[in-house]
Amino acid sequence: MTDPVLLILASLAEGDKHGYAMMEDIERFAGVRLGPGTLYGAITRMVERGWIRGVDSEDRRRPYCLTAAGRRALEEQTASLDQVLRTARRRLLRT
| 18 touches another protein (CB under 8 A) | yes
Piece of 6-14, 43-51, 70-78, 86-94 that binds another protein (CB under 8 A): 43-51
Phi and psi angles of residue 52, each rounded to the nearest 5 degrees, phi first: -135, 160
Piece of 6-14, 40-48, 70-78, 79-87 that binds another protein (CB under 8 A): 40-48
Minimum separation from the CB atom of position 94 to another protein (A)? 43
